[in-house]
Structure 1
Amino acid sequence: GPSRKYGDRNDPRDDRSKWLSYSNHNIKCSAEGEIRGITSNYETIIRKGGFGEVYKSVLQDGRIVAVKKFMCNVEENFAKELKVHCGINHKNVVRLIGYCAEENALMIVSEYISKGNLSDVLHHECIPMTLDIRLRIAVECSEALSYMHSQMYTRVIHGDIKPANILLDDNFNAKLSDFGISRLVNTDSALFTEHVIGSIGYMDPLFARSGRLTSKSDVYSFGIVLVELITKKKATTRNGETGIVECFTQSLVTEKRKVRELFDVEISSQNNMKVLEGVAKLAGQCLRMEIDRRPEMRDVAQRLRALQKTQVQGKQTPTIFPWGWRNKPAAGNNWQSASPVTPQSLPSNLCRHFSLREMKSATRNFDESHVVAQSGSGTVYYGVIDGGATKVAIKPGRGEQDVSKFQTQIAMMAKLRHHHLVSLVGYWKEKNQRILIYDYMARGSLRGNLYANNTEEPPLTWRQRLDVCIGAARALHYLHECATIPFDVSTTNILLDERLVGKFSSTVSLRQDSTDVTPTLHMGRLGCVDPEFYCTRQLTQKSNVYSFGVVLFEVLCARAAYDPYLPERQAHLVECALSCQKKGILDLIVDPYLEGKIAPRCLKKFVEIAEKCVSDRGIDRPTMQEVLEKLEMCLTEQSGSLDDETPGDDDTNGPSRTERRLNLEMYLAEDDDSSHCGSVSTFKDDGMECASDG
C-alpha cells in the first residue's frame, strides 16, 4: 500500500505532526521521489553522522540545499529535530526548508552552508582566521543561543553545542545546526532524562552525572567552543593526553602568563592580548562546575559584543581576508599627479586601499630621511599612518607586473596570516606604479643584526638567535601547511620587530598546485639556493628547507652564505661549515661572540639539524615541522644549561677574526685523509681534537 506519512489521521504518531504547525516560516513537505530527484539519487554525500547521512542537492529554482537522511531506527530523533527546528527563525540558525516524512525515508531539507563546519575550518584546513573572524563567530553563536534560551515562545536547549555543529558560509557567518537531541522547555527550567546523549569532550559534566539538562548546559559547551576559538586546539584528545580544557582551566587558576601561552600564535599579537584575555575570562566562567555561577547566554552574548567593539576600536589596521572581491572600473594617470583609482577587478575590499595623498603624508612626500632600504624593485620608505598610531614600511612593487598578477599577489599575501609573518597592511596602484604597505619591522633584517659591525646595537645573544630561528621555522611550517612556497628564504627576508620577534617576509609566494612553478635563477641568493633546483628548476618545500639550513649556519657563524672576499675554501659558508664539522674544527667558524655561551648539547643538536637541512638530496632533508621540533629541543637544552640573556663584550683574549680565518685556512688546506686532524663526525663538547704530525 501507499507509504504512511506523519500527519495521517490514523497514524499513531499523529501528535508529532502537530509540531509542524508551530513553524514561523514556510516549510515544504516533499515526497521521497522528489528528494531522490534533487539529490541525483543521493549522489553527493557531504558527511555522515550518528543519525544518518547528509547530501548536497539542487532545487528546481537553482538553490543549493542540504538533505539530511535519517536512518530507519531513529524516527524519534527525526520527529524531535523537525519539531524543534521548524520553530526557530534566526539568521544564525540553519534555515529549515522542507522535509520528507515517508516511512523508511525520513529526511530534512535545509539551506546549504558552503564552507562546512567550524571544527574542520579551525583544525583541518589551511584557512587563516583572524581574531575579528573568530570573535564574530562567537558573537553570532551566542546571539542564536540567547534567542533560543530566552526569546522564543517555547524555549529551546540545543544540547549538543560543539564546533562541528557550527556551520560557516563563504563570509564566515556562523549558523547553528543539528537539533537532533535538542529539548523544548515549557514551564520547567530543567529537564531530566535517564538516557544522557551528547558529544564526548563538550558535554556538561553535571548533565552527564545527573541527567539534569538546563540552558547552563549549553553555556558550558559554548565555553569549550570559546577555548577552541582562541587556542586552535581540539577539546577531545587521544592516548589519554591532558586536554586543552583541563590545561586552560588549570592555567586560569595558577597564573595569567600560562593562559597566554595557550593562545593560538596566529592571533596572539600584543594588540589582541586584551581582547583575548577577556574571551578567556568569559570562557572560564562558562566552564564553572557550580552551575548557578555560570552566566546566562544573554550575558555571554552581551560581553562578547563588548569585546568585539573593543577589538574594532583598538584596531590599527583593517582585517585582511581574501575571500572574493567585486569588480571596480579602471582609470588612471601617472602616480605623481593623478588621484588613485582601483583597477578593474582589483580586490579593494581585500585589504586597505591607500590614496597617494596618504602615502605622501606618511613619508613627508617621500623624503630621503624616511628611506630605510633599497630593494630590487626600488626604495623602501618608513611611514606613519592613522595619525601616527601605526608604523609601516612602504615598498614599491614591480612596475612591469600586470594587474591580474598584482591582484593575485595581494590576494595570496593577504590571506596568509601568522604571528611570525610580516603582515600586508594595504596597497596603492596607478597604471605601472605599485606600492605595497607592510607592518614596520623596527630592527630590520636578521642579516643586518647578525653582522653587528654594521649597527650600533649589541650582537644578538644565542637565546635571541634561537628564538628568531624558531619563529621563522614556525612561519615556514605554516606556509607549507597552506601549500605555499616562498621563493627566497634567507636572513635578508627574516625581519625583527622592536621586541626582536622574528617574522618571515616574502613579497612573492606561489602555491604548489600553481601552473607557473618554474622560477628563474635570480630568485634566490648565491649560497642559499637548493642544489637540486639548478637541475630541476622546480621549487619545492625541501628547497625551502635547504635554504633554511643555510640560515641556521649564518646564525651560528654570523657571516654571509657567500662572501667573495674570503679565501676560496671559506667563501661558501655551507661547504666550509660541513668541512669544519667533518674535521672537528667547527669552533673556528662559530661566531667568536658566542664562545662559551652555547650549551654543548644545544650546539650539537643545532648543527645536526642544520646539516640535515642542507643535504644534497631533498629526500634526505627533514620537513619544516621536524626542523621546528628540533629547534625547540635546542632551546630547551639552552634554557636548562646556560644563561646568555645579557649581552657582553667579545673575548678580547681570544684570537681575532683575522687570526681565526688564517687558522681555518690552514686546517681546510689539509687533505681530509691527513693525520693532522682526526675526523670527527659531530661537534665535540670539549673542543677540537688534533694529533701532532710527528
Structure 2
Amino acid sequence: MEEQHRQLRLFFTKFAGSVLGKADSELNIKCFRKRQIVSITDNYNTILGKGGFSIVYKGRLDDGRPVAVKKYIFTANKKEFTKEVIIQYQFSHKNIVRLLGCCIEADAPMLVTEFVPNGNLSDLLHGKNTSQQIPLSLNRRLKIATEVAEALVYMHTSQSHPILHGDIKPENILLDNKYMPKLSDFGISRLLSMGSDEYTGYVIGSMGYIDPMFCQTGCLTTKSDVYSFGVVLLELITRKKAIDNNKNFLAKSFGHAKTHDSFDKEIASSENIKVLDGIVKLALECLKFELEERPKMKDVSECLRKLQREQEKLMMISLKSFLKESGFTRFITDEQIYKVTSYFKNIPTERFMGKLYKGNMNGMPFVAIKMSFEVHGESMEEFSRQMVLQSKIDHENVIRFQGCWVDHRNMPILIYEFSKRSLHDILFGDSCKNWIINSEECLHIAISIATGLDYLHSLGITHGDVRTSNILVGDIPQGIFSKNVPIKISSIEASVYFSMKKSAQERFETEENNGYMDPKFPESGVLTKEADIYSMGVVLLELFTWKKVPNNHIRNCGLEKLLDVKFCRHLKNLAKVISECLNEDAEKRRSNMIA
C-alpha cells in the first residue's frame, strides 16, 4: 500500500502538469489510508448529506479539527478523480471549501474537506417549512451573493485556464457560523482547454439552474456559471425555489409577473425597492439566452459590490432617523470615532459581540465596539430601545456609554469609557503579586460590583458577560489599594448583543465564556438576570480565593476550604452568598446581590 500511495502522488504531480498547464507542478496532497478514514468518521457514524453521486460524513482529525468526508458511491475513473482533486487542491479562497486530502484505498474514492457547520443556502432560504425560516435581511443576502460571485471570479480567472463550477445552486453554497458562504461540490467542475470551450456528450448540472444554451449545444463555458448564478440571485430575493411544486421555472416566470409582488415580503420595504430592482436587473442580464449578452462574473461581482454599498448607506441613514425619532441623542461624530480607533488602524480584539478597538479621545481611554449584528427592518425598534436604555445608565459602579456611530456602512459602533486595568489583571496578571489588598478592600470590590449589577437589573438590563476581566479598576496609587479606587462593570455592550440576538430569534454560542456562564444557559439559549447572578458567584469565588475557576463544574459545598484564611471573619457569610449564587436551580439563586 505504501507503493500505491507513492505511485498516486507521482501520478498527481505528473498529471497536474497537463491539467493545469504547469510542467513543474509539485502537489503535496495528503493521502489518507482507509483505516484513518474509519477512525476520522467514527466508522462512518454521522451522515451530513447524501446525493446522487456521493455520501458526506462528518469526521474529526487527530488534532481535533472537524472535517467532512465525501465518499463516492461509484468507482471513479482514476484520471477523472485525480483531475477533480488537483483542481480543487489549487483553490485558496475564503469562499471556497478547502480540500485537505483524499483516500483511494476503499472501493470508491473519498475526499476530505474542511467542515462548514451552518448548513447550506437552500436550508437558510427555504427550511423544511415556512415556520423554520429565520429572519434574513437584504444586506445579509447581498453579502452572501457578493461573496459567492467573488469565489466564481476567482475560479474563472486565477489559473492560466478558467475553472468552471458547473453546478451553482443554493445546495452547493455552504454557510459557516457567521453566514459566510463557501462554494462546494466540485464533482463536475471542468478546466477548459487552452483557447477552447469544453464540450460534453451529456448534460450536467441541476434542473432549474442549467444554462439552456448548454442544454442545446453541449458547450460548457464560464457564462454557464453566470446563468446559474442569476437563478440563485432571484431565489435570494424571492425566497422561492428554482422549480416550484407545479414545475414552474423561476427563471422563466419571474419576468412575466409583477416584479415587486415576487419579492420576499421580509425585505420588500420601500427603502429596499431601489436596490432590489438593481438585483433583478442584474439577474435578468445573467439569464439572457445568448452567451455574449451575459456579463462576465467579474462584472457581476462589481455590480453587487456597488449595490451592497448603496444598501448599507440607505440602511444607516434609515437607522439614524429611527434613533432620532426614539429620542436618542448620543451620536458619535466621524472625528470622534477616528480619534478613538486611529482611523481604524489599530488592530482590533475579536469578541463574540464584535470587534473591539482601544484608543483615546481628549486624553481619556475609550473603547469602540463594531457590533457583529446587523440592524435592519424590525430590528431597528429593538436596537433603538437598547440605545435609549444604554443612555440612561448613570452609576458610579457601571462604565459610561459615550454614544453610537451609525455612519459606518456595515454595522453600528458603540463607544464606552475604559480603564487599562481589570480585576483579572490584579488577581491573575503578570504583576498580581505587586498589589496589596486586604480583606476589607476585597469586600469593597465585591460590594461595588454587586451594587452596579443590581442597578443594571433595576433598569431591566441583563449584562450577560460578568467576569473578572470585565470589572475595571481605576488607578491604584503606589500599588496600594484603597476604598477610593473606582470599581466599574464594563462590557455593557454584551447586553445589547444578547437582546438583538433574542429579537432575531438566534441562539448564542457560549464557547468563549464557559468559565463564568450559567451551565443552564446553553440548554435554553435564553439569558436572564439569574445567569448574571451565577457569573457573579464565580467572580466572588475568584476574588476571595485568588484562584482561577477552570470551568462551569463548580461544587457548591466545602467553599470554606477554598476561601483564604484571612477572611475568616466573613467566612460563613461569604460561603453562603457564593453558594446561593451558584445554585444549579436558577429559581433558588439570590434575587439581588446587596440584600
TM-score range, shorter chain: 0.5 to 0.7
The equivalent position to 1:86 in structure 2, one of 81, 89, 103, is 89
CA distance in 2, matches of 1:276, 1:185: 34
Aligned to 1:60: 62
Distance 1:324 1:49, change over 3 A: farther
Distance 1:398 1:275, change over 3 A: farther
Q: Alpha-carbon deviation of 1:74?
A: 3.3
Q: Secondary structure at the match of 2:63?
A: coil
Q: Alpha-carbon deviation of 1:146?
A: 1.2
Q: Alpha-carbon deviation of 1:184?
A: 0.5
Is the aligned partner of 1:243 residue 2:232? no
Is the aligned partner of 1:403 residue 2:463? yes
Indicate conservation of the 8 Å contact 1:6/1:101, yes or no: no
Distance 1:116 1:400, change over 3 A: closer
Distance 1:117 1:147, change over 3 A: same
Q: Alpha-carbon deviation of 1:362?
A: 11
Q: Secondary structure at the match of 1:315?
A: helix
List per-residue Cα deviations over 1:107-165 (Å, max 9, x = no partner): 11111111111111111043222111111111111111112112312320111111111
Indicate conservation of the 8 Å contact 2:118/2:174, yes or no: yes
Indicate conservation of the 8 Å contact 1:223/1:283, yes or no: yes
Length, aligned pairs only: 375
Q: Secondary structure at the match of 2:206?
A: coil
Aligned to 1:529: none
The equivalent position to 2:233 in structure 1, one of 217, 226, 232, is 226
Q: Secondary structure at the match of 2:109?
A: strand
Indicate conservation of the 8 Å contact 2:66/2:114, yes or no: yes
CA distance in 2, matches of 1:180, 1:122: 24
CA distance in 2, matches of 1:312, 1:173: 17
The equivalent position to 1:185 in structure 2, one of 192, 200, 223, is 192
CA distance in 2, matches of 1:99, 1:402: 48
- Which one-letter code corresponds to 2:255 in the other structure? T
Q: Secondary structure at the match of 2:240?
A: coil
Aligned to 1:281: 281
CA distance in 2, matches of 1:315, 1:11: 53
Identity %: 41
CA distance in 2, matches of 1:318, 1:55: 43
List per-residue Cα deviations over 1:228-253 (Å, max 9, x = no partner): 0111111022233x3322221224xx
- Which one-letter code corresponds to 1:325 in the other structure? M
Aligned to 1:425: none
Distance 1:24 1:162, change over 3 A: farther
**TM-score, with length taken from structure 1:** 0.47
List per-residue Cα deviations over 1:201-253 (Å, max 9, x = no partner): 1101111122111111111000000000111111022233x3322221224xx
Report 1:87-102 matches (<5 A): 87-102=90-105
Aligned to 1:44: 46
Report 1:510-659 matches (<5 A): none
Report 1:141-180 matches (<5 A): 141-180=148-187
**TM-score, with length taken from structure 2:** 0.55
List per-residue Cα deviations over 1:268-305 (Å, max 9, x = no partner): 11111111111110000000112210111111111111
Q: Alpha-carbon deviation of 1:17?
A: 10
Report 1:24-423 matches (<5 A): 27-75=29-77, 78-124=81-127, 125-240=132-247, 242-251=248-257, 258-316=258-316, 324-325=352-353, 349-350=372-373, 399-400=459-460, 402-404=462-464, 410-415=499-504
Distance 1:6 1:220, change over 3 A: farther
CA distance in 1, matches of 2:245, 2:353: 41
CA distance in 1, matches of 2:157, 2:12: 33
- Which one-letter code corresponds to 1:123 in the other structure? H
CA distance in 2, matches of 1:13, 1:42: 30
Q: Alpha-carbon deviation of 1:402?
A: 3.8
Indicate conservation of the 8 Å contact 1:141/1:175, yes or no: yes
CA distance in 2, matches of 1:310, 1:136: 12
CA distance in 2, matches of 1:14, 1:360: 66
Q: Alpha-carbon deviation of 1:75?
A: 3.6
Distance 1:408 1:262, change over 3 A: same
List per-residue Cα deviations over 1:35-54 (Å, max 9, x = no partner): 11111111111001122111
Q: Which has the larger radius of gyration?
A: 1
Distance 1:355 1:260, change over 3 A: closer
- Which one-letter code corresponds to 1:102 in the other structure? E
List per-residue Cα deviations over 1:619-656 (Å, max 9, x = no partner): xxxxxxxxxxxxxxxxxxxxxxxxxxxxxxxxxxxxxx
Q: Secondary structure at the match of 2:84?
A: helix
Indicate conservation of the 8 Å contact 2:151/2:183, yes or no: yes
Indicate conservation of the 8 Å contact 1:70/1:78, yes or no: no
Q: Secondary structure at the match of 2:110?
A: strand
Q: Alpha-carbon deviation of 1:173?
A: 1.1
Indicate conservation of the 8 Å contact 1:137/1:172, yes or no: yes
Give ranges in structure 1 of 5+ residues lacking alignment: 252-257, 330-338, 364-383, 388-395, 418-511, 518-694
CA distance in 1, matches of 2:96, 2:104: 22
